[in-house]
A and B are shown apart, each in its own frame.
Chain A
Amino acid sequence: MPWFQLRVNGSLHNVNVDANMPLLWVLRDVLKLKGTKFGCGVAQCGACTVHLNGRAVRSCATPAGLASGSEITTIEGLSPDGSHPVQKAWIELGVPQCGYCQPGQIMSASALLAANPQPDDEQIDSAMSGNICRCGTYPRIRAAIHKAAESKAS
């Protein structure tokens, strides 16, 4: 198996795994970064969302080999202390219920706001449509994204 390098949350890791292994399992099983969640394994639920060079991707369907050379950000690296505007908005509005999908939701939301600092409802719904929440926290997710957008603007 080849050794290759992954840059995760600013740190460089040498990993020795099958290059086809999805990034999700490298993060969880090899690097022990367990904030990124497994939900479906086929890029249909969004629980495993991370950033690749700032763009939201589904780590369960991204071969680790392809992520080599990119800047990978996981929920652990979004902010050192939960102070990212999206995290703060999530806490303030108490978005999570069971919480399992929320790291993925937050990674999608933060990527959206980075690209579009003032999204409207439709843009939010479209950007977030790949992130499923079985507890149904959608209305609060949308409200929290607006809130984070406001706090970023001010």
Chain B
Amino acid sequence: MSVATKITRRDFLRQTGVGTGALVFGCYISPKGLFAEDIFHQSVALNSFVRIEPLHGTIIIMANRSEMGQGIRSSLAAVLADELEADWSRVEVRQADAEADKYVVPNPVPGAHPTFLISDEGSQFADSSRSMAAYYLPMRLFGAGIRVVLVGAAARVFGIDPAQCEARQHKVWRKDGKGIVRSLDYGDPLLLLAAKKVAAPTPDEARAALKPSKQWNFIGKEMPFVDVRDMVTGKAGYGADADPGRPGMLTAMIVRCPVANGTVKNFDDKAARAVPGVKDVRKVLPDGFPIVGGVGGAFIPHAGVAVVAENTWAALQGRRALKVEWDLTQSPAAIANAKYESKAYRKELEASTASAGNKLRSRGDVDAAFALPHQVVEASYYVPHLAQAPMEPPVAVALYENGRWEIWCPTQGPDVAQHYVGLAMLYPKDPVAWLVWQVSELTEVKPWEQAAQQSFNEQLGKMLGLDQTALFKRRDELKQEVRDKVKVHVTLLGGGFGRKSKPDYAVEAAFLATQQPGVPIRVQWTREDDIQFSYYNAVNHQYLKAAIDAGGKATALLQRSAFTSFFATLFPPADPRLPTAANETFRLARAAFHSGGEYPFGSGIELGQGLEDMPFDLENLRLENCAAPSHIRVGWMRSVANIYHAFSICSFADELAIAAGRDGKDYLLELIGKGRILDLATLKAEGLENFDNNQFPVDPLMAQLSSGKSVQVLPGYPPDTGRLRAVVERVAQAAGWDEKVKQYKQQPKGRGLGIAAHRSFLAYVAMVIDASLADNVLTIHEIHAAIDCGIAVNPDRVRRRWRGASSMA
């Protein structure tokens, strides 16, 4: 981050946007002569994201996000290309390596906090359904800004005013149509040379140049995606297909400790080594590897023993023959984790939600309402651990040579992989390095994280005997060292769904490669490995209770949610073996990191996913979070905490409708109430200090709807129940709800409709399912869905993902 943190908003276009013409073009076009060699042989960088190939004019757009089926490689490029007036058939998308100093984008919103759109390694981290939401505006500004530069350059060549030129279809045209040369292609060397004399537009000038929506060529259109041909011919490169271009690549299969935080006691590799093709058997983690995280050690792999072989089959055979004995007594975490049993744990969660938890939001007095002689409805909901199970099991290729590591892997977080590989390789015995990495400028974190961040910075400085300047210097050097020594190449992901945001498999490959310099090593997981060593979506138990008055109106709701937080995986609970100062440092690091909260409770960004932003308009309401200690690695899957919160509250709404003798859809609309915004002041008045659903400050432009209307987005993304109502009404209409309900009532029991509505991250969704149950067989006849996600850059892709997600569920 050392480079990127120094960027100010003034540098928005220069660093990551359009260059100040002279500066950026000047770096790449030799001023020595008009037809310098490099113009013809090298692409010209217009900024970190865009290059032009001189002469044939191919525009190369870097994808800084990982492709896992969401179509982001195509969609973000299309947004930029649209503003740039590029010809899509002359656009090429290339996948970016982990390079935070190139891809951290300063926030284009004036006065926004944090000052970076998504700071540090989050800048390339495809998570939280925010790749498009975050980068939509920057991509448009980059495209428009570069177009302004090219128009200015053409004006110089033509010798006319830029206002007399326009960019269209990969060319800049004279509006008057005069002269021998009426247009200049984007690849024209004359144009590119002239561009170096053009001053780059300021962000405001780029913004003023944004195309009105009716002139969009690609945004909102059904765009083909760039990878489809490779995908259907077998040429698309996924993790296991990576070829470092070295002979002798070896394949490793690993026997992993079934218990998080367990260690290897000993192993018998005699039979494994006897398998033809097996080259070596060795431990994955070095002895004495420190505690660097919580349950399972953050994104560090489980302890294990690897069988390294000439090919996958030999590695598999060797692994079958390997005998490993585990030590589950070396830490309090391992002892507790070894006892973990999910059936018994379910009872623990039930007990946790049986009494009051941490109060998150409250209005009125639910207890008083429950004391009235009203009908009371209670229900419990349980969602087990969910494994993401992407079609492509985890896999990574690593090569170690001359003190540097090169990784090829399918990862949602290229720079997260870089961070973990770097620290694990360079500082295997030094837990302090892991803490130094968490040091952060206050401008990089959300306003409500600043106090905890500052305390953490100070506490850590004190612990290390460093003043703040020295501490930041140490952090910068550490990050630079990791970035210099670890290169991460991103392949296509054969599905991610959250699993591939954790780079434990890349760290395994790096550990093994370190022991054999110059030889690429591929760690291949099996399907069984993938299911057993997932970072499971949290196990969750909820208790809900509501009161319904004589008129059938719901008057009170109590909702208690207990889930295993993924912050328990990232940061350790207090460990009696550590000094108080160290425990305190960990506690502060956790609190500062994405509203991490207190162990064993949920973090802000989990609570903000469908619990704290509960939209129902009830006189009396209390939302609570109950304790849930973790004994297994927890991660996230697709919509994360929205999964279990939407499941419970939408199911419960239906229970209430039945209890009140009302129609499910009508009752849901009544619960949501009239359209209103649950703004931060309202939430605060109800006891919610900070609402954080892991998004970022946004520009009002973001909320332009596909209908052409705009809605203003308020700080913190408060829920808009009007938009939620609208999707409910829309889906009910599409499903023919009212008619079908009448129809099914006249038929024998067994067929019916269900409806649910939820806001997941920033999208409002509602679904109707038409299902029947006969002879214990559930048949789903139809699914209808309505989604309001703001602008759908590629509506067909949204439709497809939505259909696919319905199949998955």
Please list the residues of chain A having a beta carbon within 8 angstroms of any beta carbon in chain B. 1, 17-18, 21-22, 25, 28-30, 33-42, 45, 47, 74-76, 78-79, 81-82, 87, 90-91, 94-103, 106, 132-140
Contact = CB atoms under 8 A, between A and B. Distances in A.
Given A1-B276, A99-B494, A29 B233 contact: no
B225 A94 contact: yes
Contact of A134 (B232, B524, B808): B808
12 contacts: A28-B240, A29-B311, A34-B240, A47-B391, A91-B228, A94-B796, A100-B392, A101-B494, A133-B391, A135-B804, A139-B803, A140-B800
Q: Among A30, A47, A91, which residue has the most Cβ atoms of chain B within 10 A?
A: A91
Contacts of A17: 311, 313
Nearest to A29: B311
B772 interface: no
Contact of B234 (A18, A35, A42, A132): A35
B132 to A, nearest CB: 15
A39 B393 contact: yes
B400 interface: no
A66 B806 CA distance: 40
Contact of B241 (A34, A42, A82): A34
B393 A22 contact: no
Bin the interface of chain B by size: 35 or more
B69 A135 contact: yes
A78 to B, nearest CB: 8
Contacts of B231: 96, 99, 102
Contact of A41 (B224, B225, B391, B527): B527
B402 interface: no
B186 interface: no
B45 interface: no
Nearest to A81: B233
B803 A136 contact: yes
A137 B71 CA distance: 14
Contacts of A96: 69, 227-228, 231-232
Contact of B391 (A35, A76, A78, A134): A134
A134 B313 contact: no
B749 interface: no
A96 B126 CA distance: 19
B238 A76 contact: no
Contact of A98 (B316, B494, B524): B494
Contact of B235 (A1, A35, A78): A35
A98 B233 contact: no
Interface in B228-273: 228-238, 240-241, 251
B238 to A, nearest CB: 6
B69 A97 contact: yes
A138 B804 CA distance: 8
Interface in B308-332: 311-313, 316
B224 A94 contact: yes
A17 to B, nearest CB: 8
A140 B495 CA distance: 17
Nearest to B806: A136
Nearest to A101: B391
B227 A76 contact: no
B497 to A, nearest CB: 7
Contacts of B806: 136
Given A30-B311, A39-B391, A99 B69 contact: yes
A133 B800 CA distance: 13
Contacts of A134: 389-391, 495, 497, 808
Nearest to B809: A136
Interface string B62-85: 000001111100000000000000
Contacts of A139: 803
Contacts of B526: 40-41
A136 B232 contact: no
A93 B356 CA distance: 52
Contacts of B493: 98
Q: Among A34, A45, A103, which residue has the most Cβ atoms of chain B within 10 A?
A: A34
Contact of A99 (B227, B251, B277): B227
A98 B225 contact: no
Nearest to A133: B391
A98 B495 contact: yes
Contacts of A102: 231-232
Contacts of B251: 29
A99 B225 CA distance: 12
